[in-house]
Amino acid sequence: MSIEKSVKAFEEAQKLIPGGVNSPVRAFASVGGIPRFIASGEGAYIIDIDGNKYVDYVQSWGPLIFGHRNEEIETAVIEAVKHGLSFGAPTEAETELASMVTNFFESIDKVRFVSSGTEAVMSAIRLARGFTGRDDIVKFTGCYHGHSDSLLVQAGSGAATFGNPSSPGVPADFTKHTLLATYNDIESVKKCFTDSKDIACVIIEPIAGNMGLVPADKEFLAELRRLCDENGTLLIFDEVMSGFRASIFGAESITGVKPDIVTLGKVIGGGMPVGAFGGRSEIMAKLSPEGPVYQAGTLSGNPVAMAAGLAALKKLKAHARVMDVLHGRAARLVDGMKEMAQKHGISLQVDSRGSMFGFFFNDKPVKNFADALTSDTVMFAKFHAGMLDEGYYFACSQFETGFISTATTDAMIEETIKAADRVFGRIK
């Protein structure tokens, strides 16, 4: 497989763009090698600028549940573009998409659209602070909620739960109100509430996708809901990644736990840049211009993005049973990969939720970020490179989630499993 053009493109990009990429994980730093520069996508496939074709298990990190260049979504975008790219004024499409989102999510009465998941989470936390009149927030180590200052946090020293900045450029004053807990460990959350009586919200990925796929235990989430209620604290589900991927009705339909605020993105934009946050009417009433909590954005509710999101959700609603098919394929993929790994004496932990899947090169089940960090990243890098050579494009980090699209056929899944068998054999 020749990647000569990608090598040259990466060299040129590094002269003009920090690291040669506009989002760090794309640089292949954790797996080695040269990132593939993509020329086009079609259904389940992406094609790089050297003409190499890959079955795509990233799908733009989640948004493309119907694969690349889905005809209905593409048509909706083209028609919207004909009327204008942006107005900075209300359109009916915003209300229509808001209606669809609120109909899918029982916990959402009203929703505000923004342009990214980072913006959605940042705004949701500000709203929670404004609603409760409190300053502190609780997040979980290993859950990624975008790159806003108060969320780029690492564990504090000793037994302290208060976090320290995990990136230069973030003042310690910005993170002193962020407390850290351990995913799936309710005692660590209780300690946060002991350490602070000023907690506005607890934010969690109910189905974590940024430490690899690690779902929260139902019992843990139920206890988290109880703790929030006891302390007058809002519970935020970050479903930017899992929304409409794990279930079309949200994680609340899987876990039985209802959040106060939900953040969304990915699928609701159909491949266009979109984020959203929503919740109960009395909470959303605090948001400007109805209330005092300020949030704004020139491109919020962009008509082209709204058109793409509407087309995606309408298609999903019309074919709701496809989620069962996708879950079956995702489960078959990782179960088959685990079977092939065991055949070659390699330990592999796997899981799936809806059209999301994940796997760890680990001897033990992964329940939190500390568990994830014990995984064999060298083995993952070898596997990633081997699968690329076979024509299969997986997320370029052990700590990311994979995605199935409706364009991913059963035959593709079986061929992927066979390829994994060959790669595991070469690795051993």
Co-location of 65 and 81 in the same domain: no
**In sequence order, which residues have a C-beta less than 8 Å from that of residue 226 and are 6 or more positions away?**
none
SS3 state at 292? coil
Query: What's residue 134's pLDDT?
Result: 98
Do residues 127 and 240 both lie within one domain? yes
Domain match, 293 and 407 both: no
- Residue 265's H or E segment, with its range, is strand 261-265
- 214 and 285, same domain (yes or no): yes
DSSP state of 150: G
- Do the beta carbons of residue 107 and residue 250 sit within 8 Å? yes
Does residue 307 share a domain with residue 176? yes
- The residue behind tokens 């009586």 is 197
The residues near 352 (Cβ < 8 Å, ≥ 6 apart) are 213, 327, 330, 331, 333, 334, 358
Please identify, among 270, 288, 318, the residue that sits at the C-terminal boundary of a domain.
318
Please identify, among 290, 318, 346, the residue that sits at the C-terminal boundary of a domain: 318
- Look at residues 266, 293, 318 and tell me which one is the last residue of a structural domain: 318
Catalytic annotation, residues:
144, 238, 266
Domain range enclosing 239: 72-318
Which pLDDT score, from 0 to 100, does residue 157 have?
37
Pair 391, 365 in one domain: yes
Residues 179 and 209 in one domain: yes
How many structural domains compose the chain? 2
In this prediction, residue 12 carries a pLDDT of 98
Same-domain check for residues 336 and 304? no
Nearby residues of 228 by Cβ (< 8 Å), 6 or more positions away = 202, 234, 235, 260
Q: What is the pLDDT of residue 255?
A: 95
d(CA 54, CA 31): 17
Reference 387, options 361, 420, 413; nearest CA is 420
For residue 196, give the 3-state DSSP assignment.
coil
By the 10 Å C-beta count (0-12 exposed, 13-18 middle, 19+ buried), 16 is classed as exposed
CATH number at 55 reads 3.90.1150.10
The pTM for the full model equals 0.95
The answer to whether residues 295 and 220 belong to one domain is: yes
Whether residue 84 is found in the same domain as residue 229? yes
Q: Are 198 and 135 in contact (CB under 8 A)?
A: yes
> Which pLDDT score, from 0 to 100, does residue 163 have?
59
SS3 255: helix
CATH number at residue 162: 3.40.640.10
18 preceded by cis ω (within 30°)? no
Tens-digit pLDDT string for the chain (428 aa) = 899 999 999 999 999 999 999 998 999 999 999 999 999 999 999 999 999 999 999 999 999 999 999 999 999 999 999 999 999 999 999 999 999 999 999 999 999 999 999 999 999 999 999 999 999 999 999 998 988 877 877 754 333 445 567 778 877 777 889 999 999 999 999 999 999 999 999 999 999 999 999 999 999 999 999 999 999 999 999 999 999 999 999 999 999 999 999 999 999 999 999 999 999 999 999 999 999 999 999 999 999 999 999 999 999 999 989 999 999 999 999 999 999 999 999 999 999 999 999 999 999 999 999 999 999 999 999 999 999 999 999 999 999 999 999 999 999 999 999 999 999 999 98
Tokens found for residue 80: 């919207």
